[in-house]
Structure 1
Amino acid sequence: MRAWQGLLQGWLSARADGDWYARQCQDLAHATAGDRPLNLLFKAMGIAPRKLGKQDLALSEAEQRQARALQPGFDASRWSVDQAARVGLILAAAGNLPDGAAFAALLDELANQGDIQEQIALYQGFALYPQDPALLARAGEAVRSGIRPIFAAFALRNPWPQAMLPQAAWNQMAVKTFFLDLPLWPIQGLAERADQDLGEILCDLAAERAAAGRSLNLELWRLLALCPGERGHALLRQQYADTRPGTHEMYALQLAARESPHADVRALAPAGLPGIEFSDEWERLAQWRE
């Protein structure tokens, strides 16, 4: 966490009042019980937007490389300056805690008492937090949240869920993007974590949406093609046969088939252009919704 604090200090000093931020971090790092550190943390987090501003963090390529050297998959492309500062303040307050359980307790206090913007920063911060099982209960609260920006702060562009969530919780998180009308592509580790149980859930979801006459997020076909099973393969085959050529849905089905690790699914679509970046293509398809 010290390494992250150093990076955050550099980023914020280049964009805002780094001296103010450094003083708050120092006060939190050296706070005693008599100083009521939780109160100090809430006060600093509360005034951070006024002191530092809410502009986009907008990391340079060099800054992004430094961050990914600490945590592969780190992505702060949607962070603002005040959000980065709030995460850094949490890390500063956690510096003297004895273990992961104490850190989890601190996050619980913040989640229970903080406003929605402070909670968003808290869950974005999982990208920087230790990959400690003590934090799984708090992560589970994010997965269960029906508040769209809180769920998105944890689930999207974050390497922590891929590394740490149990399979059932990860499956729940992936499926929930469809219910909250969020894009799937920013979830990290789709190909690595998708499993047969998820494929069955997706087939059920597709059947329910079809019976209700409701439209489907086209990214469902991508996720299903990664973990189809016999039932999923049959559904993809049927969808491919029923979809008009030249439509967005046909392109999504073809893209899903080409990305699939399963040869029988790949055979549904003609070969695509070599060197295609699937994540870029799915981002382009999903932009109209995000």
Structure 2
Amino acid sequence: MQSQKIIQLQQWVEQHLTQAQIDWLLSAKQSLVESDPEKQLDELLNISAGVKRSVPDQSLEGADQAFAHFDFAETIRLLLLVQVAKTCPDIAYLVKSYYQFGDQSEKTALLKGLNFIDPNGQAVQTAIKASRCNTTVEFSALALRNPYPAEFFPELNFNQLVLKALFMGLEIDQVVALDARQNAELSNMCFAYVIEQALADRTPPASIWLAIQLNNLHDHHLGELERYTQHFYQMSVEHKQQITQLLGKQNAELLEQIKG
């Protein structure tokens, strides 16, 4: 499935490049194929550094949904990384090294495409390290619209990723497979953050309620549920919608109370 998507991406990309740009891309991929295995990473980094000078600066409107949030340079870098990964005996080393030596735009391309470069999760430790970065662009590339964390992150690291997204003001409805990775610790961490934000007179992203399952909440959090759902229900339309959805499914009686 993933290899088929990469083939389709290659075809789509070539339809939107000039002949000179296509020739450059094919030459770059051939250079990687023919390079000495011990020097292949250096060759990849050299080619990657010149990508933005060689391809158009535009988004991928009309491409497969899996790549709709990529820009053109990120897509080319993904194709180059996949080319190297095909014959690389150590995917973990490839990902770690490219992440270590790449600039922010290269790191972003790598993280967005991890599930295509590393479909078996061999480089998960590098991804976990990347989740601790402080730049929104880089963090979003890993945390949002990306199936890799949900598929390979241990529970603790996945929970930390979700909470950090909320700290950064990101909407976690874009965290892939959030429902499938629901757990008691995540529910309580997020509800504790709801309380913290209310006490500080701040408003967290409305999608925080997507990470909360009422049957997972500790007793002391259940005791505060009415107070804080009512507080944020009145705070904004977005929170009202999310709380209505949450309580409508899990506690219709409480929903009627806070409406009244």
* Mapping of residues 107-146 of structure 1, within 5 Å: 107-146=95-134
Identical positions, percent: 21
Q: Determine the structure 2 residue equivalent to 1:244.
A: 234
1:177-216 → structure 2 map (5 Å cutoff):
177-216=165-204
- What CA distance in whole angstroms lies between the structure 2 residues aligned with 1:174 and 1:112? 24
1:45 matched residue in structure 2: 48
In structure 2, do the counterparts of structure 1 residues 92 and 253 end up closer, same or farther at CA, with 3 Å as the change threshold? same
Distance 2:22 2:253 in 1: 55
In the other structure, the counterpart of 1:58 is 61
Question: Aligned match of 1:257 in 242, 247, 257?
Answer: 247
Contact 2:169 2:204 in 1 (8 A): no
- Number of equivalent positions: 250
Which residue is equivalent to 2:9? 8
1:41 is paired with a residue whose SS is helix
Aligned amino acid, residue 47 of structure 1? G
Q: CA 1:245–1:110 in 2, change beyond 3 Å: closer, same or farther?
A: closer
Per-residue deviation, residues 122-168 of structure 1 (Å, max 9, x unmatched): 10111313332421111111222222111110111011111111111
Give the residue type in structure 2 aligned to 1:23: S
- The residue type paired with residue 41 of structure 2 is L
Q: Note the residue ranges of structure 1 that are not aligned, 5 or more in a row.
A: 65-74, 271-290
With normalisation by structure 1, the TM-score equals 0.78
TM (norm. structure 2) is: 0.86
Instruction: Describe the shift of the 1:234–1:251 C-alpha distance in structure 2 as closer, same or farther (beyond 3 A).
Output: farther
Q: 1:58 to 1:85 in 2, by over 3 A?
A: same
Alignment of 1:82-161 (within 5 A): 82-98=73-89, 102-161=90-149
Higher RCO, 1 vs 2 (CA within 8 Å, ≥6 residues apart):
1
CA distance in 2, matches of 1:216, 1:127: 29
